[in-house]
């Protein structure tokens, strides 16, 4: 039985010159990366460009791929750098954006659905009001499903610190969310 | 266990990520501690809510855009498809009418001018077909794909447009139509051959994958072997496709 091709094996294929492997990596991961950027920037157009840049960088730097790396962390480190570069370029390093049009698709057709959509909108607004570092922890832990250990590896911290900080970030998010609900 | 320690571990308890011993200790503490119980209930419903946030749908065309960029990088000497402005769709009718008129007017004259004009009209028609491949969708696009076969002089542009359709169109029927037309060119066109071999790596629909494997193996394209094996071994490939790939692999060397 030949081992199935996970993202790491695909990266090996890409590193050895099979550029079409990037197509599969893109297909598997672009929605995750796009969602990350949208939640961090609240701007769909910017997120689209940043996502494409991330995968072009993967293509460009595929030669530097080492088999002992985990693709998901590597991917998010590239995505994170891309975001930092973007904010540097626009002189808004991790700044809280003003409210733009929210990106969640409006396909509501009942009061109930409308209420659910509104609560998601408020959640995204609350995410926007978090400190950037806290927002990132929630993004990686809740939306990307990274463990504390994996986050520690991605943001160069230690597992216990990440655990405590993530817990506090969740509490802050809950507070901000409740506050907006009441207002 | 102290309350502070318990609270910090609550998210992992909710996610079921704690080991059994710690989990049991936590549950025991929460049962007997009103403050931690409240925290647990609060977080439990809040995290259930945050985790239910729907995936944000990327804008349409984003994937196709990347695949185009990838394709450009993959084949350096790849001739570019002429990108026609959208007015060409409206102009299609005019051009086809002109074609018919010109053909009628010059029929029987048999001079060099006639041949040249016919060639020009043919080229215009092909441009319209290419525009159709780019801009139409659904049934209109299937029609455009088959028109492409009809006017086929197997130009590099045409093959490119069909290949892009095969790799990027959202509609499976359109992709299959493109494959159908391309399959007629595979035996004597190297561009089609290598394009179809590469396409194996980007297709995700089982029907298209099976059709592609069938076309390539039946046409005896040995270069396809690696990529068929790739599909066969890829996680998430439909079991029927895997079986089919396995069987068809035997037919090529």
Q: Give the per-residue pLDDT at A83.
A: 87
What residues does B234 pair with on adjacent strands? A5
Q: For residue range A141-155, what is the model confidence (pLDDT) as tens digits?
A: 998 888 899 889 888
DSSP class of residue B111 equals S
Evaluate whether B145 touches B162 at the Cβ level (below 8 Å).
yes
Three-state DSSP class for residue B234: strand
Residues near B15 by beta carbon (within 8 Å), at least 6 away in sequence: B47
CA distance A69 to A81: 17
- As a whole number of Å, the end-to-end CA separation of chain A is 60
pTM of the model: 0.52
Q: Give the per-residue pLDDT at B46.
A: 93
Convert B40-52 to b/e letters by CB count within 10 Å (16 or more is b).
beebeebbeebee
CA distance A80 to A72: 12
What ipTM was predicted for this assembly? 0.74
Q: Check CB contact of B233 with chain A, cutoff 8 Å.
A: yes
Evaluate whether B127 touches B88 at the Cβ level (below 8 Å).
yes
Residue-range domains of chain A with CATH: 1-97 (1.10.1740.10), 105-183 (1.10.10.10)
Evaluate whether B61 touches B164 at the Cβ level (below 8 Å).
no
In tens digits, chain B (253 residues) has pLDDT values of: 899 999 999 999 999 989 999 999 999 999 999 999 999 999 999 999 998 888 888 888 888 888 888 877 766 534 333 333 333 333 443 344 343 433 433 444 444 444 444 444 455 455 556 665 665 666 666 777 776 666 556 677 778 878 888 888 777 888 888 888 888 888 888 888 889 998 888 888 888 888 899 889 888 888 888 889 888 888 888 888 888 888 888 877 5
Helices (H), A5-147: 7-15, 21-41, 44-60, 71-89, 111-129, 132-138
Q: Give the per-residue pLDDT at A109.
A: 57
Q: Tell me which residues of chain B, numbers 133 to 162, contact chain A at a CB-CB cutoff of 8 Å.
A: none
Q: Give the per-residue pLDDT at B14.
A: 92
Nearest residue of A to residue B42, measured between CA atoms:
A174
8 Å CB contact of A35 and B74: no
Residue B213, classified by CB atoms within 10 Å of its CB into exposed (0-12), middle (13-18) or buried (19+), is buried
Task: For the domain covering B152-253, report its CATH number.
Answer: 1.20.930
- Out of B53, B59, B234, closest to residue A48 by CB: B59
Token couple for B83: 């990108």
Token couple for A10: 């695909």
8 Å CB contact of B58 and A22: no
Q: How far is A101 from chain B (nearest CA, A)?
A: 14
Mean per-residue pLDDT, A73-100: 69
Distances (CA, A) of B132 to B93, B174, B196: 12, 12, 21
Q: For residue range A107-143, what is the model confidence (pLDDT) as tens digits?
A: 445 677 777 778 888 898 898 899 988 999 999 999 8
Predicted confidence (pLDDT) at residue A85 exceeds the cutoff of 80: yes
Nearest residue of A to residue B74, measured between CA atoms:
A19
- In the numeric block, the tokens 């298209």 are attached to B208
Q: How far is A93 from chain B (nearest CA, A)?
A: 24
Q: Give the per-residue pLDDT at A169.
A: 96
Q: Check CB contact of B107 with chain A, cutoff 8 Å.
A: no
> Which secondary-structure segment (H or E) carries A178?
helix A159-182
Evaluate whether A50 touches A40 at the Cβ level (below 8 Å).
no
């Amino acid at each position: 039985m030949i081992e199935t091709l996970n993202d790491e094996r695909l990266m090996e294929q890409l590193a050895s010159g099979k550029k079409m492997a990037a197509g599969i990596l893109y297909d598997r991961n672009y929605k995750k990366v796009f969602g990350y950027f949208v939640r961090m920037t609240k701007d769909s157009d910017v997120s689209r460009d940043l996502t494409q840049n991330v995968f072009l960088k993967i293509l460009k730097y595929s030669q530097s791929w080492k088999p002992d790396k985990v693709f998901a962390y590597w991917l998010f480190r590239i995505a994170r750098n891309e975001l930092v570069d973007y904010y540097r370029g626009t002189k808004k390093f991790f700044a809280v954006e003003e409210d733009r049009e929210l990106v969640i698709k409006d396909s509501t057709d009942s009061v109930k659905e409308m209420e659910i959509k509104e609560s998601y909108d408020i959640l995204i607004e609350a995410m926007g009001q978090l400190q950037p570092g806290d927002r990132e922890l929630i993004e990686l832990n809740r939306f990307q499903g990274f463990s504390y250990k994996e986050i520690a590896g991605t943001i160069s911290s230690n597992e216990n610190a990440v655990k405590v900080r993530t817990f506090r970030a969740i509490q802050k998010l809950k507070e901000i969310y409740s506050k907006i609900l009441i207002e | 266990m102290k309350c502070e320690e318990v609270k910090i571990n609550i998210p992992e308890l909710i996610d079921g990520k704690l080991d059994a011993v710690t989990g049991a200790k936590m549950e025991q503490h929460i049962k007997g501690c009103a403050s931690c119980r409240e925290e647990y209930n609060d977080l439990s419903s809040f995290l259930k809510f945050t985790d239910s946030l729907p995936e944000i749908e990327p804008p349409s065309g984003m994937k196709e855009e990347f695949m185009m960029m990838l394709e450009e990088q993959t084949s350096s000497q790849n001739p570019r498809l002429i990108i026609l402005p959208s007015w060409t769709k409206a102009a299609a009718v005019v051009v086809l009418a002109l074609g018919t008129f010109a053909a009628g007017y010059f029929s029987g004259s048999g001079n060099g001018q006639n041949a040249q004009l016919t060639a020009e009209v043919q080229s215009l028609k092909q441009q319209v077909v290419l525009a159709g491949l780019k801009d139409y969708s659904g049934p209109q696009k299937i029609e455009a794909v088959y028109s492409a076969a009809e006017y086929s002089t197997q130009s590099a542009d045409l093959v490119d447009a069909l290949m892009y359709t095969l790799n990027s169109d959202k509609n499976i029927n359109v992709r299959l139509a493109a494959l159908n037309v391309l399959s007629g060119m595979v035996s004597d066109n190297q561009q089609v051959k290598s394009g179809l071999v590469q396409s194996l790596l980007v297709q995700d629909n089982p029907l298209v994958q099976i059709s592609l494997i069938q076309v390539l193996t039946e046409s005896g394209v040995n270069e396809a072997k690696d990529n068929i094996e790739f599909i066969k071994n890829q996680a998430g490939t439909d079991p029927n496709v895997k079986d089919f790939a396995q069987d068809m692999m035997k037919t090529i060397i």
